[in-house]
Amino acid sequence: MDRSPSARGPLIDTFGRIADDLRVSVTDRCNFRCTYCMPAEGLSWLPKEELLTFEELSRLLGLFVRRGVGSIKVTGGEPTVRTDLPVLVRMFREVGPELDISMTTNGVLLDRLAGKLADAGLDRVTVSVDSLLRHRFEEMTRRDALDRVLAGIRAAEAAGLVPIKINCVVIGGQNEGEVVDFARWARETGYEVRFIEYMPLDADRAWERAKVVPGATIVEAIDRVFPLLPEREDAEPATTFRFADGAPGAVGVIASVTEPFCDTCNRLRLTAEGQLRACLFALEETDLRGPMRSGAGDDELGALIRETVWRKWSGHRINHPDFVQPQRSMSMIGG
């Protein structure tokens, strides 16, 4: 077998998977402290000079786009806390006029930013909402901000950042009893609610398998109340279902723990300080910032990107006894 990646064509690994979807973290900072992601306090932020500048981010994005990346998700930390985010989104849009540009956000600043982001060229948003009950939302995010997040979602919809997707991390003993309420909300609003299995990526290292609610259990619970029809499969890791009675909206599950989708994974991640990761659970990263700041040309950086994809492992090892949780938690990787 060929032991090196070809210098041209799409970004491909040794298992034949093509990486054409990039998550770009624009900051490690966050204005929430979700229990399953960050510690209540004590996480130190990257100094400003370690963050990629807008120019560096745009340059790297150009390298990915020229190598076949067709969709990006702006993420963090919380992307909306990066100063002048709409300016960056406009620069991304100039790099990739045809690029699918979406953003994952906690939504709390969307009431002010949605219009500006849409004008700058953002296509749509995914908003994280873990509970529709004020007290539980506060328990899980450590912020009493449900109303403001809901207002942010409405602002995003009004600005045309649609279809609206909602991410809900389901944790046993916390919000698992709300999945049918979320499905009802999807039907009322037309949103697509995606239930995410709890993954071992929390800074507090409190993850336990017993707290993972399997995607199949979630689908069964909803299907008993609102019968579901599976949607055709696409490249998305979410398995999506429509409502059999034709109601608007949809539900989906991202079953990374119980039904890993590594075989079809097309994702790459760039951290806020310019480390490229071929898997959410990767234990190795490729530094793109260092070479870029030392004067590396586009071909050299392109080769580093290609080699990182080429070395992508076959899949994460959450379900193996030798699983090692990455040093970085989700907010520092860019979810």
Site for ligand SAM, rule CB under 6 A = 30, 36-37, 75-76, 78, 104-106, 128, 167, 169, 196, 198-199, 201-202, 330-331, 335
Distances (CA, A) of 255 to 150, 178, 194, 200, 238: 25, 17, 10, 13, 8
Looking at the Cβ atoms of 104 and 271, the one nearer to ligand SAM is 104
Minimum distance from residue 143 beta carbon to ligand SAM (Å) = 11
Closer residue to ligand SAM (CB): 109 or 159: 109
Give the residue at shortest CB distance from ligand SAM: 335
CB of 300 to ligand SAM, least distance (A): 30
Contact 253, 197 (CB under 8 A): yes
- The residue ranges of DSSP E strands in 213-287, in sequence order, are 228-230, 239-243, 250-254, 267-270, 275-277, 286-287
DSSP, res 170? E
Residue number, 128 or 217, with CB nearest to ligand SAM: 128
Decide if 215 contacts 226 (C-beta within 8 A).
no
| Cβ contact 255:239 at 8 Å | yes
Q: How far is the CB of 276 from ligand SAM (least distance, A)?
A: 18
Which lies closer to ligand SAM via its Cβ, residue 10 or residue 236?
236
As a dihedral over the C-alpha atoms of residue 166, residue 167, residue 171, residue 177, rounded to 10 degrees, the angle is 10
Q: Counting beta carbons within 10 angstroms of the beta carbon of residue 262, is it exposed (0 to 12), middle (13 to 18) or buried (19 or more)? A: middle
Minimum CB separation of residue 75 from ligand SAM in Å reads 5
Give the nearest distance from C-beta 286 to ligand SAM in angstroms.
21
Q: Please state the closest distance from residue 4 (CB atom) to ligand SAM, in A.
A: 34
Taking phi first (over 0 means left), then psi (-120 to 50 degrees means alpha), and beta for anything else, what does residue 216 get? alpha
Query: β-pairing, 100-105 with 275-277?
Result: unpaired
Kind of pairing between the strands at 124-128 and 267-270: unpaired
Q: CB nearer to ligand SAM: give 192 or 202.
A: 202
Least distance between ligand SAM and beta carbon 79 (Å): 6
In this complex, which beta carbon is closest to ligand SAM, that of residue 44 or of residue 294? 44
Q: Pick the closer one to ligand SAM by CB: 20 or 197.
A: 197
Alpha carbons 112 and 319: distance in angstroms, whole number: 42
